[in-house]
């Protein structure tokens, strides 16, 4: 025994290496650390003859030498719990790949001679197979019950080496374990102890059939060769992974490999679990007649199948399932080919249907060769905004203001000194928010757009996310993480957004979102975060009944089209993409030379002036080839914005602050509609039930709009928080029931303050303060002493002077025409769907004959004008002024004694010169009907701005005109609505013709209003047969309220 022990120690351990000896008994563990082989032999010999010791083991790999001090060259018997042994962390380096071949037998007993022989034979087979792979000669040993193979390796003790060792043992277990012997795959840990050869292995009692045997080394090379890492990796790769399996062809039909093998007569030697599935070892290799063993098939947990053979002549573990199945199912190859072709065709059809449903259409073809030439021609001589609006209108009906916002948002990416323009659009579900975004995205080159939902940090890890990308969020809940990213994107537009995270190996990794990305957010009620909304252009989708009718007409026209009638891409789309490609090649610095002359009606929100400046810069960037240019010293291209750029930007900004968005107020469309109803009713106090009668909305909808609500952890504020003119009180009222019973009920009441509302609504419009060279006298006042009959010869200058706004707005068109050519181009102010076209071509305004009387009678606070949108609602007159009389100008606002805006919130200005008067054009609203479809490029007959929505009927007045003047006149929506309001105010019902108390709301069509005959009736007095529209009903309600009569 002494010689066997010394040989084992010499083979297993290097010179001077510290090893641990550990002897195991039924109840105790004995352990010691040795650097002296002689001391080890002397300490082990007594333990080996102790019948209570079942086995004596040593550490195979190199142990930390410091552990010798635990029990130096001695063995401590009966270790206590505080006595430590060698752990995986105590191993300095791996020296051996241990392969333990153990015969299958009951646990706790020694092996029989035949079982022992099976293990030794299997060890020879494994060694021969590894030799064929290039492995060196191993140490072969008899463990007493089985067989051992030890291959010399040299690896560090790290996770990679552990995984590699585990993979090697798992491969051998998979390929060689059977019903008689198994390869132990659990010996991969570095601190594993191994049989000390030369000692007796005692498992159970020694019987003649199952005797105890002494372990020994059978053979070993004189100088063991090291098996390199490449050989180990080659061995580990023989184990098939789940992703290497061939997945089932059809979803929903589970392929049964066991049944298939049985059906085709395959004899299996063994069957065992493997990677969540089943491993079948074949009795006979189906791939080669040169050998029997080594073939196997696996069905993984996901249904995928892998078949192969371990022998190199059979591919050495490569996937051969397709070949095997084709051999037994010869007609399957043709069926498979047909199926794959059908799947490929169906996949294309599904992908095409999906992208068409998402609105982006199929994969866009390459731009035509002349697209860039056409784009350059537009940038140099044409109107790129008009081109993009035309392309947008070809696929989406209406919502021009939203399209302008999106265009300017993308253009801001090319402006070096811009903070970026991000867009948020709100509106009810199904009104076209997502459709508008996706149609505009078709104009963006593919590499610059990202759509769909993303997780909180996904954008940081997107490798193909390019700078200047468009990020779209479609009616999804913005998490806190996404909102923080959005805030960072708006605050650090010029720089990448960085995020530092920790990887699995505990190292820091810095991820970034590229710079100059803009966000488009479509959501029913906004983001729910005021800070996010305050950083974006807030636009409303058009939800009007007229828009619903236009959308329906467009859908009906589309359904009449035959296949191929509608091309996937128009020439305008290709040109638009080429325009953006050119703009993305540029980085310009935009100078606004007239910035000091821009005046704001309200400057409390400091972000809004920045947004107006960015709108100007973005519009100028689109016309950079048509603007004055200069190259700075640092090679930056500087362009100089013109007043046409201000006019276009101010038009968008004014609409976003009025009829098309909540830029200043941050209101949603529904909140604005409810606030308008409250303002029209002008009741000092109202309840939700009162608002139900006024609007026809449900109780819950009005309640949420007023008080806000919580949804998915987000708080959406209502009018009570946004509008200071509405306050809330909780009170108890006494109501008399039948039979003389009085009931006290608790109710919620809301108070309305008209003065606070006018003060709060002040803001939005901007204008240029005219200098000496702009037609004035140098101080901004008009050189003429006659300011028109509308203000009795007085000119109120200073803060809030609406006369200043009137003249400047009416003069924008002339400046824009000089800059960009024909009026109505995007460089000049252009009326759109929701714009109040209140300025005549000559800058004059038509009023009722009682206007001067109203103004001279006193300063009624209700008549104070707060912004250009409100001023546009002043009445027109059908009276033509006398030939020697000058037409009335726009009225200057009456200066109110209360309810005006604080001076600290109004920018100081000089009053510009008033407009030059000219002859007005009169119309009657009843002589016009909706124009189907609208004509965006046709000028309005009244104001001259482009965008016609109504066409003249064939009336007697039209027939009486000369032949060359009988063509139907067309007017814009704003002029039509202004005339409607004027005629409604002039239509006063006779007293006593109906009773307001008997009026009830109707939700079905009952015809036009009986009083004005212009709008759809919303109220009816069935007893009198009188029908009222919303405007006439509100007017009568206010009239009765001022006289103290309850309705």
At 27-43, the pLDDT tens digits run 899 999 999 999 999 99
871 vs 762: which has the higher pLDDT: 762
pLDDT at 367: 53
pLDDT at 111: 94
pLDDT at 730: 74
Write a three-state SS string for 373-430: HHHHHHHHHCCHHHHHHHHHHCCCCCCHHHHHHHHHHHHHHHECCCCCCCEEEECCCC
pLDDT at 368: 61
Interior angle at CA 369, CA 365 and CA 371, nearest 5: 80
The region, left, alpha or beta by phi > 0 then psi within -120 to 50, assigned to residue 557 is alpha
Q: Which two tokens stand for residue 563?
A: 């296949």
For residue 216, the cross-strand partners are 142
Q: Which residues contact 649 (CB under 8 A, 6 or more apart)?
A: 408, 612, 615, 616, 618, 619
Q: Label the pairing between strands 91-103 and 508-513.
A: unpaired
State the Cα–Cα distance between residues 814 and 821, nearest whole angstrom. Answer: 10
The mean per-residue pLDDT over the stretch 641-662 comes to 82
Q: Are 826 and 817 in contact (CB under 8 A)?
A: no
pLDDT at 780: 36
Residue 892 has pLDDT above 60, yes or no: no
First to last CA, the chain: 117
Q: Are 85 and 57 in contact (CB under 8 A)?
A: no
Residue 181 has pLDDT above 70, yes or no: yes
Tell the residue number behind the tokens 């006494």, with chain if given: 734
- Per-residue confidence band for 58, with pLDDT thresholds at 50, 70 and 90: very high
Residue 1033: strand, helix, or coil: helix
* Nearest partner of 927 among 897, 957, 899, judged by Cα: 957
Q: Are 642 and 627 in contact (CB under 8 A)?
A: yes
The mean per-residue pLDDT over the stretch 233-257 comes to 69
The mean per-residue pLDDT over the stretch 525-534 comes to 60
Q: How many CB atoms lie within 10 A of CB 740?
A: 6
State the Cα–Cα distance between residues 647 and 766, nearest whole angstrom. Answer: 10
What does CATH list as the number for 669-760? 1.10.10
The mean per-residue pLDDT over the stretch 282-303 comes to 82
- Per-residue confidence band for 476, with pLDDT thresholds at 50, 70 and 90: low
pLDDT at 737: 59
State the Cα–Cα distance between residues 853 and 876, nearest whole angstrom. Answer: 15
Residue 547: strand, helix, or coil: helix
pLDDT at 803: 38
pLDDT at 117: 94
Buried b (16+ CB within 10 A) or exposed e, 62-71: bbeeebbebb
Q: How many CB atoms lie within 10 A of CB 799?
A: 19
pLDDT at 127: 94
Residue 194 has pLDDT above 90, yes or no: yes
For residue 588, the cross-strand partners are 415, 637
pLDDT at 211: 94
Residue 451: strand, helix, or coil: coil
Q: Are 838 and 978 in contact (CB under 8 A)?
A: yes
Say what the alpha-carbon torsion angle 790, 794, 799, 803 is, to the nearest 10 degrees.
40
pLDDT at 247: 63
pLDDT tens digits, residue range 87-112? 999 999 999 999 999 999 998 899 99
State the Cα–Cα distance between residues 448 and 958, nearest whole angstrom. Answer: 53
Question: Does domain 2-236 bear CATH number 1.10.10?
Answer: no
The mean per-residue pLDDT over the stretch 237-252 comes to 63
Residue 461 has pLDDT above 60, yes or no: yes
Cβ burial of 1008 (10 Å; 0-12, 13-18, 19+) is middle
pLDDT at 245: 62
pLDDT at 451: 60
The mean per-residue pLDDT over the stretch 263-289 comes to 82
The mean per-residue pLDDT over the stretch 339-343 comes to 73
The mean per-residue pLDDT over the stretch 896-914 comes to 38
The mean per-residue pLDDT over the stretch 745-759 comes to 79
* Percent above pLDDT 70 for the chain: 73
Residue 593: strand, helix, or coil: coil
Q: For the chain, what is the total number of helices (H) and then of strands (E)?
A: 29, 39
Q: How many CB atoms lie within 10 A of CB 270?
A: 14
- Per-residue confidence band for 763, with pLDDT thresholds at 50, 70 and 90: low
Q: How far is CA 551 from CA 929, 932, 1018, 1036, in A?
A: 18, 11, 24, 35
State the Cα–Cα distance between residues 667 and 664, nearest whole angstrom. Answer: 8
State the Cα–Cα distance between residues 932 and 550, nearest whole angstrom. Answer: 8
Say how far residue 55 (Cα) sits from the centre of its chain. 64
pLDDT at 71: 93
| Domain 395-556 in this protein, CATH class | alpha beta
Q: Which residues contact 909 (CB under 8 A, 6 or more apart)?
A: 599, 767, 769, 780, 798, 799, 801, 804
* Percent above pLDDT 90 for the chain: 18
DSSP classification of residue 661 = B
pLDDT at 674: 85
Q: Are 500 and 509 in contact (CB under 8 A)?
A: yes
Q: Label the pairing between strands 685-686 and 709-711.
A: unpaired
Read off the pTM. Answer: 0.46
Residue 900 has pLDDT above 50, yes or no: no
Residue 604 has pLDDT above 70, yes or no: no
Residue 796 has pLDDT above 70, yes or no: no
pLDDT tens digits, residue range 150-165? 999 999 999 999 999 9
Q: Label the pairing between strands 193-195 and 470-474.
A: unpaired
Question: In 503-650, where do the E strands start and end?
Answer: 508-513, 518-522, 537-540, 588-591, 598-600, 628-631, 637-640
State the Cα–Cα distance between residues 179 and 184, nearest whole angstrom. Answer: 14
Arithmetic mean of pLDDT over the chain: 76
pLDDT tens digits, residue range 821-854? 443 444 443 344 444 333 333 333 333 333 333 3
Residues making up the chain, counted from first to last: 1047
Residue 881 has pLDDT above 70, yes or no: no
Q: Which two tokens stand for residue 283?
A: 């009795």
The mean per-residue pLDDT over the stretch 940-960 comes to 87
Half-sphere exposure at residue 590, Cβ-oriented, CA atoms within 13 angstroms: 32
The mean per-residue pLDDT over the stretch 766-795 comes to 45
Most confident of 107-111, 412-416, 735-739, 1040-1044: 107-111
Q: Which residues contact 802 (CB under 8 A, 6 or more apart)?
A: 865, 868, 871, 890, 891, 892, 893
Half-sphere exposure at residue 615, Cβ-oriented, CA atoms within 13 angstroms: 29
pLDDT at 188: 92
Buried b (16+ CB within 10 A) or exposed e, 120-142: bebbeebbebbeeeebbbbbbbb
* Nearest partner of 573 among 391, 404, 370, 378, judged by Cα: 391
State the Cα–Cα distance between residues 745 and 734, nearest whole angstrom. Answer: 6
Q: Which two tokens stand for residue 626?
A: 């048509």
State the Cα–Cα distance between residues 42 and 844, nearest whole angstrom. Answer: 120
Q: Which two tokens stand for residue 358?
A: 């998402």
Residue 716 has pLDDT above 50, yes or no: yes
pLDDT at 183: 92
SS3 content of the chain, % helix, strand, coil (to 5): 35, 20, 45
State the Cα–Cα distance between residues 385 and 474, nearest whole angstrom. Answer: 25
* Nearest partner of 428 among 511, 344, 273, 544, judged by Cα: 544
């Amino acid at each position: 025994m002494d010689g066997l022990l010394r040989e084992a120690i010499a083979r297993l351990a290097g010179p001077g290496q510290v090893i641990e000896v550990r002897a195991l008994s039924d109840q105790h563990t004995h352990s010691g650390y040795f650097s002296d082989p002689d001391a080890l032999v002397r300490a082990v010999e007594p333990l080996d003859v102790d019948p209570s010791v079942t086995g004596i083991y040593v550490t195979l790999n190199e142990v930390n030498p410091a552990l010798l001090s635990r029990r130096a060259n001695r063995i401590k018997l009966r270790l206590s719990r505080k006595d430590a042994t060698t752990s995986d962390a105590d191993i300095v380096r791996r020296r051996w790949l241990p392969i333990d071949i153990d015969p299958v037998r009951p646990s706790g007993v020694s092996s029989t001679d035949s079982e022992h022989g099976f293990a030794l034979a299997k060890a020879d087979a494994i060694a021969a197979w590894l030799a064929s792979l290039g492995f060196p000669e191993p140490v072969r040993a008899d463990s007493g019950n089985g067989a051992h193979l030890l291959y010399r390796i040299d690896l560090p003790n790290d996770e990679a080496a552990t995984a590699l060792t585990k993979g090697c043992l798992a491969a051998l277990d998979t390929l060689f374990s059977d019903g008689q012997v198994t390869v132990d795959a659990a010996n991969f840990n570095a601190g594993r102890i191994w049989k000390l050869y030369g000692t007796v292995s005692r498992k159970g009692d020694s019987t003649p059939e199952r005797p105890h045997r002494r372990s020994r080394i059978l053979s070993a090379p004189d100088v063991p060769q090291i098996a390199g890492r490449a050989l180990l990796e080659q061995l580990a790769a023989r184990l098939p992974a789940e992703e290497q399996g061939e997945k089932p062809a059809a979803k929903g039909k589970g392929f049964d490999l066991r049944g298939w093998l049985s059906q085709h007569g395959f004899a299996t030697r063994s069957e065992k679990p493997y990677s969540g599935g089943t491993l079948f070892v074949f009795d006979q290799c189906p791939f080669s007649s040169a050998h029997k063993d080594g073939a196997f098939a696996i069905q993984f947990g996901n249904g995928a199948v892998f078949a192969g053979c371990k022998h190199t002549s059979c591919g050495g573990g490569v996937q051969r399932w397709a070949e095997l199945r084709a051999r037994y199912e010869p007609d399957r190859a043709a069926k498979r080919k047909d199926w794959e072709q059908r799947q490929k065709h169906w996949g294309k059809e599904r992908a095409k249907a999906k992208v068409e449903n998402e609105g982006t259409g199929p994969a866009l073809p390459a731009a035509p060769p002349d697209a860039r030439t056409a784009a350059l021609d537009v940038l140099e001589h044409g109107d790129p905004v008009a081109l993009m609006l035309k392309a947008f209108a070809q696929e989406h009906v209406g919502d021009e203001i939203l399209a302008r916002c999106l265009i300017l948002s993308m253009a801001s990416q090319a402006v070096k000194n811009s903070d970026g323009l991000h867009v948020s659009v709100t509106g009810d579900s199904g009104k076209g928010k997502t459709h508008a975004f996706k149609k505009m995205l078709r104009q963006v080159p593919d590499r610059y757009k990202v759509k769909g939902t993303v997780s909180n940090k996904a954008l940081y890890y997107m490798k193909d996310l390019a700078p200047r990308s468009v990020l779209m969020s479609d009616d999804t809940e913005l998490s806190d993480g996404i909102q923080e990213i959005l805030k960072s994107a708006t605050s650090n537009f010029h720089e990448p957004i960085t995020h530092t995270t920790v990887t699995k190996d505990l190292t820091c990794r810095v991820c970034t979102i590229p710079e100059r990305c803009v966000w488009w957010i479509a959501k029913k009620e906004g983001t729910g975060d005021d800070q996010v909304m305050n950083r974006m252009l807030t636009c409303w989708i058009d939800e009007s009944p007229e828009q619903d009718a236009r959308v329906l007409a467009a859908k009906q026209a589309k359904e009449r089209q035959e296949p191929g009638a509608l091309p996937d891409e128009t020439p305008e789309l290709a040109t638009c993409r080429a325009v953006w490609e050119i703009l993305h090649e540029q980085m310009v610095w935009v100078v606004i030379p007239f910035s000091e002359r821009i005046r704001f009606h309200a400057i409390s929100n400091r972000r809004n002036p920045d947004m107006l400046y960015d709108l100007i810069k973005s519009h100028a960037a689109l016309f950079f080839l048509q603007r004055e240019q200069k190259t700075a010293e640092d090679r930056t291209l500087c362009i100089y914005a013109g007043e046409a750029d201000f006019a276009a930007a101010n038009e968008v900004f004014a609409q976003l602050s009025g009829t098309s968005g909540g830029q200043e107020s941050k209101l949603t469309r529904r909140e604005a509609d409810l606030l308008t109803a409250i303002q029209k009713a002008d009741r000092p106090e109202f309840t939700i039930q009162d608002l139900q009668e006024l609007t026809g909305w449900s109780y819950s909808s009005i309640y949420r709009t007023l008080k806000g609500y919580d949804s998915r952890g987000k708080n959406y504020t209502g009018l009570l928080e946004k509008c200071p003119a509405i306050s809330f009180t909780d009170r108890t009222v006494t109501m008399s029931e039948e039979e003389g019973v009085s009931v006290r009920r608790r109710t919620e009441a809301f108070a309305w303050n008209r003065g606070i509302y006018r003060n709060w609504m002040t803001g939005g419009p901007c204008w240029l303060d005219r200098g000496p060279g702009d037609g004035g006298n140098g101080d901004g006042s008009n050189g003429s002493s006659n300011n028109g009959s509308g203000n009795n010869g007085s000119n109120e200058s200073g803060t809030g002077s609406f006369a200043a706004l009137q003249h400047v707005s009416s003069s924008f068109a002339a400046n824009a025409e000089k800059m960009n050519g024909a009026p109505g181009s995007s460089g000049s102010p252009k009326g759109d769907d929701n714009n109040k076209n209140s300025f005549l071509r000559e800058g004059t305004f038509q009023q009722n004959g009682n206007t001067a009387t109203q103004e001279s009678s006193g300063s009624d606070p209700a008549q104070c004008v707060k912004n250009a949108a409100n001023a546009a609602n002043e009445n027109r007159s059908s009276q033509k002024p006398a030939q020697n009389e000058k037409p009335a100008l726009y009225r200057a606002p009456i200066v109110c004694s209360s309810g005006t805006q604080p001076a600290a919130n109004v920018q100081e200005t000089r009053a510009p010169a008033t407009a030059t008067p000219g002859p007005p054009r009169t119309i009657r609203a009843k002589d016009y009907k909706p124009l189907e479809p609208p004509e965006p490029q046709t000028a309005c007959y009244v104001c001259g701005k482009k965008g016609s929505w109504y066409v003249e009927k064939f009336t007697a007045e039209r027939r009486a005109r000369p032949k060359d003047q009988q063509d139907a006149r067309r007017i814009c929506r704003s002029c039509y609505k202004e005339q409607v309001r004027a005629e409604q105010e002039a239509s006063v019902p006779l007293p006593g013709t109906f009773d307001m108390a008997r009026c009830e709301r109707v939700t079905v069509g009952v015809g036009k209003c009986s009083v004005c005959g212009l709008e759809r009736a919303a109220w009816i007095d069935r007893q009198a047969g009188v029908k009222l529209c919303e405007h006439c009903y509100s007017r009568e309600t206010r009239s009765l309220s001022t006289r103290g009569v309850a309705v």
